[in-house]
Amino acid sequence: MKIQYFEDTDTLYITFSQKIPTETREIDESTLLDLDENGQLCAMTIEHAKDRVGIPEVKFEKIST
């Protein structure tokens, strides 16, 4: 997984897999999902990220089982 924040456009882009998206679905006017040819999630775009997800207070935690 890769998380990128583009400050100039206040956009958060999260890549979940290296597969090539073939379709983009709009969840709402500020959230887009990129899907591969099998309908699996590849990436997510969140616009207006500061207000919607609290940038820069993003925390990542990996938990081993």
**pLDDT, tens digit (0-9, with 9 covering 90-100), for 8-59:** 999 999 999 999 999 999 999 999 999 999 999 999 999 999 888 777 676 7
Give the amino acid at 57: E
| Strand 23-28 with 31-35, pairing | antiparallel
Higher pLDDT, 32 or 63: 32
CA–CA distance from 18 to each of 10, 15, 33, 53, 60 (Å)?
Answer: 23, 8, 14, 24, 20
Kindly report the number of other CB atoms within 10 A of residue 40's CB atom: 11
pLDDT at site 52 = 84
